[in-house]
Structure 1
């Protein structure tokens, strides 16, 4: 039987929600091994004036525990 753990992270990017999601996985992979999936729980954007300046995601990352 495999044991899977889930952690939740917040990430942001000026390049879009996909970039923010990639950044979250990249940052998590520095300390977590065996990442198997990422689930985008929430998306937000910061607006200044009439422009979106920052994209934010709240993600859940699943990984296998040895």
Structure 2
């Protein structure tokens, strides 16, 4: 039997939503062991001077708990 925990993180990128997701998962994997999935809960952009300054995603990251 496996038990998992879900935690929410926020990640940003100046490039794209996809890059923000990638950076968020990679960073979460450095701190959390046994990361098995993530899903995008929310996404938004910050606008400065009429242009997108950065992309932000809120991710729900699932990781398995160790016995």
- The verdict on a shared fold, with TM-score over 0.5 as the criterion, is yes
Aligned equivalent of 1:61: 61
TM-score by length of 1: 0.94
Query: How many pairs were matched up?
Result: 66
2:31 match: secondary structure: coil
TM-score by length of 2: 0.93
1:15 corresponds to 2:15: yes
**Structure 2 unaligned runs (5+)?**
none
**Structure 1 unaligned runs (5+)?**
none
Q: Which structure features the higher share of helix residues?
A: 2
Aligned equivalent of 2:45: 45
Runs of 4+ in structure 1 displaced over 2 angstroms? none
What is the aligned-residue RMSD (CA, Å)? 0.7
What's the offset of the Cα at 1:17? 0.7
Deviation readout 1:2-32 (Å, 9 max, x if unpaired): 0011010011000111111111111111111
